Amino acid sequence: MTTWRLSDLRFLLGLLLPALTLWSVLDDPAHAAVGAAVIWGVIALGEATVPWFRRSPPSAGPQPALAWILRAFVPLEILLLVAGGAAAAHADLPTILGLAFAVGFVAGAQGITFAHELGHSRHRGDRALGWVLMGCVMYGHFMVEHYRGHHVRAATHDDPASARPGESLWRFLPRTLAGSWMHAWKLESEFLHLRRKSWMRSPLLWCTVANVAVLTGLAAAGWWGVLLFWVLQSAFAIWLLETVNYIEHYGLQRGTDADGRPEPFGTQHAWNADTLLSNSVLANLQRHSDHHVHAWKPYPELQALPGPQLPTGYAGCILLAALPPVWFGLMHRRRPAPAGG
């Protein structure tokens, strides 16, 4: 029987944030954004200034029971979306914007992160839950592009989700948004052709149809506040995802061999951080090198490997990346020399 260590209980913070946000949306929707902003600020400031927050406990090996934190998050996010939509139905524009920020913060920071982890699971049910979470932010193609595209091409010029040296976040965003979407549909088409399956068997197609149906239904019913809330929370969640993508491989390039093929992915091809609060809330996502080297390894088992280190945790780096001169000044001195090839 698997037992949890005391230090593993930190991952329960992954359920505390959506629960607190749900309570805030239900209790005082007009000020829900304040709570989300305070939490973000506390994590970012704490990891940048408090030495105790700069290291996470090491992995103690397999902890399969911790997968239930990811699974339990799914109904919490659905409840949060329903509560946010209900509050937005008769709210004014500032309240709708605040609700979208609060809910999108949870859906992007945690929902997409947990969908990513569930999608790497060997269990079909977990992967289905990943599709549900990505459908909640209208970004289902991530479930194709990330596993079949990004993990193959990460830290190469061909990967739309890998930021190039000197590329600002604001130049990166249109390139990754368009490139990831187009490549996902191309990969899905090739996959279905290879397996001799019809598009009717494609979860990407059905996730897209479901999203279009929800948008159409809300518009047809005249629920414009709910429609605006859902679109804006999705947009903010997607921005968080793609900003994290920008951070994770910024300026790192794999070398090529004599045939032009990229070298194997190594610890030097992803930025890492081992800060306590972000790793606890984001299922060890910041141990990113180990995740790429061992893509099927469950999040509690990820190790803090040597390699390029971020100046602080993701919560702070997202804010830094939004300011290109500050970001470049911090990162270029940390970036390892490019590989030959």
What value, to the nearest 5°, has the Cα angle with vertex 226 and ends 224 and 229? 105
Q: Which amino acid is at 267?
A: T
* Reported pTM: 0.95
What beta strand segments (E) does 187-257 contain?
A: none
Show pLDDT as tens, one digit a residue, over the chain (341 residues). Answer: 456 677 788 999 999 999 999 999 999 999 999 999 999 999 999 999 999 999 999 987 788 999 999 999 999 999 999 999 999 999 999 999 999 999 999 999 999 999 999 999 999 999 999 999 999 999 999 999 999 999 999 999 999 999 999 999 999 999 999 999 999 999 999 999 999 999 999 999 999 999 999 999 999 999 999 999 999 999 999 999 999 999 999 999 998 887 878 899 999 999 999 999 999 999 999 999 999 999 999 999 999 998 899 999 999 999 999 999 999 999 999 988 765 44
Backbone φ, ψ for residue 309 (5° rounding): -115, 135
Q: How many residues does the chain have?
A: 341
DSSP H or E stretch at residue 29: none
The one-letter amino acid at 186: K
Angle at the Cα of 234 from the Cα atoms of 162 and 244, rounded to 5 degrees: 25
Distance CA 149, CA 144 (A): 7
CA 338 – CA 324 distance, rounded (Å)? 21
3-state secondary structure of 81: helix
